[in-house]
Every structure is written in C-alpha cells, then in structure tokens.
Amino acid sequence: MDWKPDRNSKTPIYRQLAEYIENGIADGTFPPDKPLPSERGLAKELGVNRSTVIAAYDELESNGLINRNRGSGTTVSKDIWGMTKKRIPSWNRYIEAGSFLPNLPVTQRIHKEMAEQKLINLASGELSQDLFPMNSLREITANRSFIGSLGYDHPQGSVILRETLTNHVKQFRGIETDPSSILVTSGAQQALHLVVQCLLKPGDAVAIEAPSYHYNLPVFKSAGIKTYPLKVDKEGINPNDITELYKKHRIKMIFLNPIFHNPTGTLMDEERRKKVLEISSEYGIPVVEDDPYSLTSFTGEKMRTLKSFDQHGNVLYISSLTKIVASGLRIGWIIGPRAVIERLSDAKQQVDFGHASYSQWIANDFLDSTEFESHIKHLVKQLESRRNQIVDSLESNLHGLVEYTIPNGGIHLWSRIKKEVNEIQLLEESIKRGVIFVPGSTMGSGKGFVRFTFSREKEENIHEGIKRFADALHTVLT
C-alpha cells in the first residue's frame, strides 16, 4: 500500500486510513474482486497498532463499503450503493462525539494493565484486601438483622446512616451537622461529579491544586469548566494565590484536599486552612474539601478539617469509606447547606434513583460499632509500616537518584527523579518488569515526578516493586 498516515495531523490515524481506502474504492484502486489487506498485515506494514486498522475497517463496514467474513478476509462490498446492504452504526464516531470525555491515555493504559496483568501495584489508590475489616463485615452480614427497606430509599440516603454519619463526623472529624445536611453518594467520585455538574456551568473558572488528583479527572473539561492551578508546597497551597486567581479569573469554586494531599502527601498548615476560609468568606467563593485521609495520621494527632473550622457554611465537605474501610462498599457523602444537598440529591435521583440500601446498612452498622475505631488504629499502624518500607526501599535502591517528602498520613509518596527521564518510556519499562506506578504528569506536575501508593501491597512486595522500578529507571537512563 503506497500510503502512510500523517502522524502530525489532528485527524485520528484510523480515520485517515478509512478515508484513504474509501477514496481508493471510489477510484478503483481497491476493486470488489480483490481482498483488502488483513488487519494484522496492514498494521505491520503501516507501523500502527492492529486496533487502529480494526477501527478503520469498522468505519468502512458501518458505511456499507466493505464486507468482513471469517475465513475469507475483508473485501470491498459488491453492493456499493447499499441497495440491499444492512448497515451498522459507526460506533467510533459516536464514541468520539460524546460530551463526557475519556480518561487520559496514560491513565487508561495504567487501568488496563492493572486489570489484565499481575503486577506489583504501586499505582492504585486503594487498600489491599488484607487491610479490609473482613471479619467485622462478615459478622454484620451473618449475625445482624438487616435494617431498612429493599425498595428505593430516601433521596439523600438512609436516614439511619445519615444519623450515624452525623455522630461519626462530630466524633472523628470535628464537624457539627445534621442528617438533613448530608447526601450519601457512591464514593467521593460521584460526589465530585454531582458538584461540578449541578453547581457550575460551562465557562466557569475554578481553582485546583497543582499537582492534584483533580487534574486527572476529565469531569471538569467535560463540563466546560476552566481550571486554574494553585501550587502546592510543603505546607499546602498558599491562600494568597486564591486571591490572585479570583481577581484575574473570577473563580467560582475552590477544590482542595488539604489533609495528606493526593499526590504529594502534604498536610496544609492550620493557619493556611483558616486563611482559606477567610478568603472564601471575603469573596463569597465556595470551597469543596475532599477528605479521604484525615483519619490516617501516623503521629496520632487529630486532624482538623476545613469544615470543622467553617462557621458560615462556605465548605462543601466530601469524604468516604473507600480509603479507610473498603472501596467496594461505594459509600461516600457530601455535607453542605440544605438547599445545596437537596439540589445534588435531585440530580443523584435522576442518575441512579438513590443509593443501594444493603451497602448502606453494612456501612451504618460498622461505623456505629466499637470495631470501627479498632480497625482505624490497626489500619494506621499497617499503613505507617508500609510507608516506612517504601522509604527504606527508595533509600537502598535509588539513593541519590530521587528525592521525596515523607508523608505523615495517607497512602501516597510523591517523588522526583533528579535526572531527566522519559516518563512514558519509564512506565513501559517498569511494566515489562512487573511493577506499575503513576507518572506525575497525569496529575499536572512537571517532568520527572512519580506517585507511589503504598497501601495496595505488603512490605515484601513494596521492596521488590521499588527494586524493579530502579532497574527500569537505570535502563532508561543509560
């Protein structure tokens, strides 16, 4: 085939190929009596992935231009005008046209590899199975009576669970609220989506930390929201930067993860937290506080959330059981002014008719038991041990090559490679060696940053994972 794709074009390669073949069918280059190249052979000839050729052939088939038959290959359709041809949708065009954007390609690659390969997982932001309170949860399901209804629950979530959450956030997070100001969600992720989709409109400007987990979420771009960075240093974001962004861009909302920040592990200085609230009150800018990790302090110090300082209802507080109990429970919550909670609740009803009553019952009974506090103490001890292991492994395998800040809570360690490195090449080389991590660029950092998560693997696997990462790094640097 005397054709090569234009890799600098904004048109996807599969569509370039489809258009080339379509034009060739029209001018007779590809006649009906001769087969088209095989998917595998054409991919090799053009130097592209086989999936690219498959997508191009899908496009041509949907337009009624080719036939694909198992055993006899791909041929140009003899019924070129589609008089008798039954056509199928061009799904690739629908996929690209959707308003809800996909994850970044690197993020998709990480998710795919974690699902398909048995890798040492230093990427996934969840607990390992052995850190789940399995015995306590089994005891609840086996020996306690189910409370609630198996029909649709209250739009804001189980009243009983919301009463329990009211007591929980007061005892463990210093937050005064009531059940009517709480919405139960499918984890913190759904909570963030509801806030963006219901309280902001296309063209609005918001401030997010840089680097930030939020940078990795396509929800902002899908909604047409402009994001502006707040640089994170060793004490969190500088509140004065919020004022500057407001004056320049009239930001409508601030998204913060102030306690053991993802990905840097930073704990925002308490004075800075108070200053953020002062600025929020001065300019009337709402703050969305994402708090997955405040109960995981390795020092034993009780962490004060932004919401615990909030006297005027400026903070929408989001948290969940995902990072401290079990990700599969899918229990999260938003605390905020009643009018906001009712608006978000209405939207959630449109999406899923409310949260599953069975998982709410399990979450309620566990939160309401003495076993919850025992579990948290055990969890913190185990996470601290794994934190210590990853620090020791970095020192023994990469001393002088990386620098990092040791977190005092949470599940992530943020590091910077001191030498210039191609992070995608490093990721691929690491995957070959059986370990996976998150490149910093997916979270809006500069070059050479890496996020290691230490909650997913036991100490021996952490050590082996860092060793394999070090081997990959040395290979890429040579």
What is the full DSSP assignment across 221-264? HHTT-EEEEEEEETTEE-HHHHHHHHHHH---EEEE--SS-TTT
* CA dist., res. 109 & res. 263, Å (int): 19
Assess whether 327 and 269 both reside in one domain: yes
Distance CA 136, CA 103 (A): 35
Whether residue 139 lies inside any domain: the answer is no
How far is it, in rounded angstroms, from Cα 424 to Cα 439? 8
Structural domain contains residue 135: no
**In angstroms, rounded to a whole number, what is the distance separating the alpha carbons of residues 342 and 332?**
16
3-state secondary structure 51-112: HHHHHHHHHHHHCCCEEEECCCEEEECCCCCCCCCCCCCCHHHHHHHCCCCCCCHHHHHHHH
Q: Which long-range contacts (CB under 8 A, 24 or more apart) does 164-169 make?
A: 164/364, 164/367, 164/368, 165/333, 165/367, 167/368, 168/367, 169/317, 169/319, 169/335
Q: Other C-beta atoms within 10 Å of 105: how many?
A: 10
Report how many domains make up the chain.
3
* Structural domain boundaries, residue 273: 146-368
pLDDT at 80: 61
295 and 439 housed in the same domain: no
- Which of residues 368, 388, 407 is at a domain's end? 368
Residue 132 lies in a domain: no
29 lies in the same domain as 170? no
On the question of pLDDT at 144 being above 90, the answer is: no
CATH number at residue 309: 3.40.640.10
Alpha-carbon separation of residue 322 from 87, 126, 351 (angstroms): 45, 7, 21
CATH code, 53: 1.10.10.10
| Claim to verify: residue 200 and residue 309 sit in the same structural domain | yes
Whether residues 332 and 418 share a domain: the answer is no
172/299 Cα distance (integer angstroms): 15
Distance CA 126, CA 323 (A): 6
The residue among 368, 385, 408 that closes a domain is 368
Instruction: Report the percent of the chain where pLDDT is more than 90.
Output: 73
Asked if residue 362 and residue 274 are part of one domain, the reply reads yes
- Does residue 2 sit within a domain? no
Encode pLDDT of 44-54 as tens digits: 999 999 989 99
Same domain assignment for residues 305 and 449: no
Distance CA 464, CA 32 (A): 57
In the chain, the largest separation of any two C-alpha atoms, in whole Å, equals 77
- pLDDT for residue 10 is more than 60: yes
In a domain, 49, yes or no: yes
pLDDT band at 16 (very low <50, low <70, confident <90, very high): very high
Domain shared by 434 and 452, yes or no:
yes
DSSP label at 360?
H
Residue 214 lies in a domain: yes
In a domain, 41, yes or no: yes
**Residue 450 to residue 415: CA distance in whole angstroms:** 5
For the whole model, what pTM was predicted? Answer: 0.85
Please report which confidence band the pLDDT of residue 306 belongs to, taking 50, 70 and 90 as the band edges.
Answer: very high
* Alpha helices in 316-369, H assignment, sequence order: 338-352, 357-367
Closest CA to 439 of 454, 455, 422, 456: 422
State whether 232 and 91 are in the same domain. no
Quick one: tokens of 467?
């060793």
Residue 133 lies in a domain: no
Evaluate the omega torsion of the peptide bond into residue 263 and state whether it is cis, within 30 degrees of 0.
Answer: yes
Question: Across residues 31-42, what is the average pLDDT?
Answer: 87
Query: Could you read off the pLDDT of 440-473 as tens digits, one per residue?
Result: 999 999 889 999 999 999 999 999 999 999 999 9
Q: Look at residues 342, 368, 394 and tell me which one is the last residue of a structural domain.
A: 368
Give me the mean pLDDT over the 174-202 stretch. Answer: 96
Same domain membership, residue 201 and residue 68: no
CATH number at residue 398: 3.90.1150.10
In this structure, the answer to whether residues 262 and 329 fall within a common structural domain is yes
Residues 75 and 121 grouped into a single domain:
no
255, 207 in Cβ contact below 8 A?
yes
Q: Give the residue ranges of DSSP H helices in 399-444.
A: 423-432
- Mean pLDDT computed over every residue of the chain: 92
pLDDT digits (tens, 9 = 90+) for 392-446: 999 999 999 999 999 999 999 999 999 999 999 999 999 999 999 999 999 999 8
